Structure 1
Amino acid sequence: MDHINYLKRFQASDLTEPSFEHLAELQFRHMQHIPFENLDVIRRVPIYLNLSTIYEKLVTARRGGYCYELNGLFHWLLNELGYDAHLLSATVCRPNGQWAKADTHAAILVQMEQPYLVDVGFGDATIQPIPLDGTERTDSSGTYWIESRGDGFFDLIRRRNGAQRTLYRFNRESKSLVDFHEGCVFNQVSKESTFTHADLATRATESGRITLSDRELKVKENGNETKIVLTTEEKKNVLAETFGIVLDGAD
């Protein structure tokens, strides 16, 4: 694996020196250029928690992935660049308020002058590091902060358009990629998984986000949102032109 080629993959070759400013820019550029997507899950292509395999998919094949792939490889990159970073597990709170299977989301904690939550693998969420001290951070997708529950756990919370909800709950315990094997299998095969029902691809933009969900394309820009229902051919074109993904026989 070559971290320089990885940086080139998301146009970040100028961000090799560790700093908070570079960390924030690395996260944003990664989320702009490497999509969150579940296309392999839908097509029953197995996903293995092996960094070399993930590197081949994300960097060489120029694909995206879901949390284990995106945060797994980004965590490796941060450590290659000299950051003090480790993986952590989180439990997602779905939009309906129900909790997903425990500890099946992978995120990253980066220790600088204080600890920051970094996540390039949660889809429509913050594009910048969030401190654990409760300080609010606002970007094009909403206002985010982290609340300590006082029991060793923390909640990532978002406020958007006046509505507030918890996105997920985590603690600071260091995890290895292999620790997510059960969650990775669950999210590939279970009917209860968010990712086993329809194609999903999403990436951040300079002023919002572009999301393909099954055949619906949703574009958020400067607070405005448009939705378009695509034909089969239009969907293939969007995957190729907007997300850089070309799949044989994709529909």
Structure 2
Amino acid sequence: MDSDQTDAYLRRIGTERPAAPTTRALHDLHVAHLRAVPFENLSIHLGEDIELTEDSLVAKVVGAHRGGFCYELNGAFGALLTALGFEVTLLQARVYDAEGHPGIPYDHLALHVRTSDGGDRLADVGFGTHSHFPLAFGERADQQDPGGTFRIDETPEGDLDVSRDGKRQYVVDRRPRALGDFTAGAWWHRTSPRSHFTRSLVCSMLTGTGRITLSGRTLTTTTAGGERGSVELATDAEVLDAYATHFGIVLGQVPQVREALFPGGGRTESAS
């Protein structure tokens, strides 16, 4: 990213260029990103291509004013942090399912970030509901965050288990990866009927008072205290207006859940 692209990205998330790549600056950039760039899987259901290159990801997040899922959001954020002088390493992780089983390799992309003042952080702006601020990478005690109580524990194999409120979220492999390494994982999530991304629509973003989520035609607001309110949007016009008003996403059509592609090439109907 050149200087103009970096400045455009900073305007996209509503923050100033930090004077130095410090831990405080990382914290501010992290929460600003969460409050400006939605976690969304609309490209899958709009038939849009997802290309895991820095230029493509930054063009989508900044130029097209869109969001994305983990590979896109953390991939783009990592490019911004690198341009600002942070030392960034891409890490692959496997997300735990409801039964506590880890998913496929390259299931998730997270960031190991080192700062100029000695900070060593696990940053993640691409996991939906997660920590508002980066987690201390080497800390093995509970870490309090507005998003919950987080903990990073080392596994017997030397990987890192990341937990939220006592529930394991994902396990991180600490070996450095390149953005292209995640292509197969992104393809699986875009095409497999076993991927939750092919079975539903989601667009969700942190707000100053909680979180707002549009899932299909259901618009849900959640306060910091946990209070929830939902409304069903009756018309396509209301859905498109909700995307534009709450997430800054202007669409020409309402996304619909598409058929998922079997890994072997066949198709199955996804459930919404």
Question: Of 61, 66, 71, which residue of structure 2 is paired with 1:63?
Answer: 66
Instruction: State the AA in 2 paired with 1:148.
Output: E
Aligned counterpart in structure 2 of residue 228 of structure 1, from 231, 234, 245: 231
CA-atom RMSD in angstroms: 1.5
| CA positional deviation for 1:188 | 0.8
Map of 2:250 onto structure 1:
246
Aligned to 1:127: 132
* TM-score, length basis structure 2: 0.86
Does residue 158 (structure 1) correspond to residue 164 (structure 2)? The answer is yes
**1: CA distance, partners of 2:204 / 2:98:** 17
Instruction: Specify which of 14, 17, 31 is matched with residue 20 of structure 2.
Output: 17
1:1-251 equivalences in 2 (<5 Å): 1=1, 2-112=5-115, 113-132=118-137, 133-159=139-165, 164-223=166-225, 224-231=227-234, 232-251=236-255
**TM-score, normalised via structure 1 length:** 0.93
Q: Distance in 2 between matches of 1:246 and 1:99?
A: 35
Asked if the contact 2:7/2:17 (under 8 Å) is kept, the reply is no
Q: Larger radius of gyration, structure 1 or 2?
A: 2
Secondary structure at the counterpart of residue 11 of structure 2:
helix
Q: 2:240 & 2:101 partners in 1: Cα distance?
A: 33
Check conservation: 2:90, 2:111, Cα contact below 8 A: yes
Give the gaps of 5 or more residues in structure 1: none
Q: How far apart, in 1, do the equivalents of 2:228 and 2:100 lie? A: 24
- The aligned length equals 247
Letter of the 2:93 counterpart: A
Measured after TM superposition, the shift of residue 55 of structure 1 is 1.4
In structure 2, do the counterparts of structure 1 residues 82 and 244 end up closer, same or farther at CA, with 3 Å as the change threshold?
same
Shift of 1:103: 2.3
Distance 2:45 2:222 in 1: 25
CA deviation profile, 1:190-239 (whole Å, cap 9, x unmatched)? 11112112211111112321111122222111212212222233221111
- The residue type paired with residue 225 of structure 1 is R
Corresponding residue SS for 1:117: strand
In the alignment, the residues of structure 1 paired with residue 129 and residue 245 of structure 2 have an alpha-carbon distance, to the nearest angstrom, of 20
